[in-house]
Structure 1
Amino acid sequence: MIIVIKPGNEAMVHEISQRFANKADVFTHGNRVAIQGADRDCLSAEELAATQEIIENHPAAIQGSRVFHPEDTVIETAHSLIGGDNFTMMAGPCSVESLAHVRKMAAVAKQGGATVLRGGAFKPRTSPYSFQGLGEPGLKFLRQAADEFGMDVLTEVMDEDHVEMVGKYTDIFQIGARNMQNFSLLKAVGKTNIPVMLKRGMSATVDDILNAAEYIAAGGNEQIMIAERGIRTFDNKYTRNTLDVGSVPVLQKLSHYPVIVDPSHAAGHTEFVTREALAGVAIGASGLVVEIHDDPAHAFSDGAQALKPDEFQAMADKAFAIRSLVKPNQKAEVNA
């Protein structure tokens, strides 16, 4: 149940939340109180008199829902504003390979308008024999490069034991597609105050990703963004995954979280990355996260989908041009 309190009765939000605190999961946002498992019969006459609306038909992922949180979430980091009317470019190598290399890629990303430097120090790979990342030294290299160029860090955390350590170096946790339903990890990052990019799982539905985000929000961390990075369909012969561009406006209608498009993991091949990136911008994504490399043939991981510096610059120029032509998304009204 979501209770919408009338203007001028804001104190009632606190009173209701306190009364139910030991009986149910209770969340507040502005003039709204969400109480899991309750109904209007639980309210007193005084509480009902202060109530503008009671919404009992709401999504299971209540905190992420626009019914509970109507306005856009905007995540503010040291160098970026993510969500709302803002557009954020994020770029960097798939894996941190060395300090010299990540510094070089940071310069390329910055030149292309990126404010977030991405890079993996811990890599979940399909094969156990593939490069698994440099670990903590890689995080140090990434942090140093980002600080030198005035950028934020986005990097993957793979398990709950690494949350504290990775949190020392990153500005944004990335939860990869394979870990989207690693609920212990989601709970762990939910206890931090570090923003989280949650990537949609390879076979996850829209409800799946929203419920996964709810695990993070339930822990108290509401700084969440959702990344569409392509889903597994019946045909992956020509692209790595299928970019579900249609999920962007759907997620924006249902949820207040920023939606980021990852064309690199969707396309899997450099020749398709730019066009998929531009499709994401045109449909209204809050940002892009793109892999870049100056020598893709010798990249430690995922070189086949990395844009070379000149390709990234050309893509970024077009992306920002398209963004300037596309009005900020007008979110469709959500029916309770």
Structure 2
Amino acid sequence: MKHTLDIVPLKSWIDTGDKPLIIAGPCSAETEEQVVSTAHLLANTGKVNVLRAGIWKPRTRPGEFEGIGSIGLEWLKRAKKETGLLTSTEVATAKHVEEALAAGIDILWVGARSTANPFTVQEIADALQGVDVPVFVKNPVNPDLSLWIGALERINRAGIKKLGAIHRGFSSFEKTAFRNEPMWDLAVQLKSACPELPIINDPSHICGNRELIPYIAQKAMDMDQQGLIVESHIDPSVAWTDAKQQVTPAALADLLDHLSVRHPESNNPIFDDKLAELRQQIDKLDDAILKQIGDRMKIAEKIGEYKRDNNVTILQVSRWDEIVEKRVQLAKALSLSADFATKYLELLHNESIRKQNEVMNAKSVAEA
């Protein structure tokens, strides 16, 4: 389902040429010297468009460093004056918005915890009424696309037309190599729902450690995201927050030097013709796969009828375990990942159970 947002293109409010938008700076503003020195090093790379720094830091538990507060806004003003970099920070309350705007902060963003709470987003939106300032909205902590879109709509309805999204990954119960699972499919779904919306990537929060940042940054470019927001500190080893995921300005410059920025379209007619041919093959295969799935579900309905007539439960765990084991082995032999095969089988199994459940319930309704 498409969602219409009344926004203007990213290039009209910050011109980066043919390069991605790069927002960088420390996770937290700690001292004036730290903010200003980091800003100079980032500006000297010639690769950064906007300086970022957390002024108010929402923390999971009390007692941790929760941001330097309003004084940090003055440090950002000084950094902008000396380097020419635009400035940005996170806002989580109406008061934050008012103070950031009064200090001349150029770009605001709504954090993941705030996005998850419509009351908080609405408070921020109300404070933005009548203001012409760019705002980015991070995805909510949990994978909820509607909540993400809803937050964007609330900000947009406040009159903010310079609007974008930040893909920072999602919390997951399972422990993986990432701090927050990228779940690229949700970012793709957002792009499909809001095609005009610029999306930038936050590899720092996705990764949780600096070693993985180049991989995620490149993946973001390959997924046609329009920029990066990266945490960069003059000396990450002594950072007061998120030390492991921050990089030095020099390391950031090196990362950006090795980033391959690809274009969503080609001007080569031969390439376009070949791509169209391959896509046509994909379309035929997709049609065939869906037809076979439909045939499979007809058999599942017959199985449901047979189970119903013989008073047998729908779910039989031993059969399911057998299916997963055999099909995953086949998937591996076909160079498909076990994770993909398992998720695919789970979807098929759930639909099969739904079909069988319909058959059994249909008899119960008729008898009633």
2:165 to 218, 226, 246: 226
Answer yes or no: is 1:138 the counterpart of 2:72.
yes
Q: Using the alignment, how far apart are the partners of 1:173 and 1:236 within structure 2?
A: 31
Structure with greater strand percent? 1
Q: CA RMSD in A?
A: 2.3
Listed one character per residue, the Cα deviations across residues 225-255 of structure 1 (whole Å, up to 9, x for unaligned) are 1000011123235321011333344323321
Answer yes or no: is 1:103 the counterpart of 2:65.
no
Q: Who is 1:326 aligned against?
A: 263
Comparing 289-298 with 258-267, greater Cα deviation is found at: 289-298
Matches within 5 A, 1:21-100: 59=2, 61-63=3-5, 73-74=9-10, 76-77=12-13, 80-81=14-15, 87-100=20-33
Identity of aligned residues (%): 29
Answer yes or no: is 1:259 the counterpart of 2:199.
yes
Q: What's the CA shift for 1:107?
A: 2.2
Q: Using the alignment, how far apart are the partners of 2:239 and 2:89 within structure 1?
A: 17
Q: Using the alignment, how far apart are the partners of 1:251 and 1:162 within structure 2?
A: 27
Q: What's the CA shift for 1:257?
A: 1.5
CA contact (8 A) 1:90 1:109 kept: no
Q: Who is 2:138 aligned against?
A: 199
Using a 3 Å threshold, how does the CA distance of structure 1 residues 214 and 308 change in structure 2: closer, same or farther?
same
CA contact (8 A) 1:90 1:290 kept: yes
CA contact (8 A) 1:264 1:306 kept: yes
- Larger-Rg structure: 2
CA contact (8 A) 1:284 1:328 kept: no
Counterpart code for 2:32:
L
Q: Using the alignment, how far apart are the partners of 2:113 and 2:11 within structure 1?
A: 24
Matches within 5 A, 1:203-218: 203-218=142-157
1:246 to 165, 177, 185: 185
Structure 1, unmatched stretches of 5+, are 1-57, 331-336
Using a 3 Å threshold, how does the CA distance of structure 1 residues 236 and 190 change in structure 2: closer, same or farther?
farther
Counterpart code for 1:302:
D
Q: Who is 1:290 aligned against?
A: 230
Using a 3 Å threshold, how does the CA distance of structure 1 residues 155 and 311 change in structure 2: closer, same or farther?
same
Q: Who is 2:91 aligned against?
A: 157
Q: Could you list the runs of 4 or more consecutive aligned residues of structure 1 that deviate by over 6 angstroms after TM superposition?
A: none
Using a 3 Å threshold, how does the CA distance of structure 1 residues 112 and 314 change in structure 2: closer, same or farther?
farther
Q: Using the alignment, how far apart are the partners of 1:311 and 1:100 within structure 2?
A: 20
Match of 1:234, SS state, is coil
Q: Normalising by structure 1, report the TM-score.
A: 0.71
Q: Normalising by structure 2, report the TM-score.
A: 0.65
Counterpart code for 1:90:
I
Answer yes or no: is 1:188 the counterpart of 2:123.
no
Structure 2, unmatched stretches of 5+, are 268-368
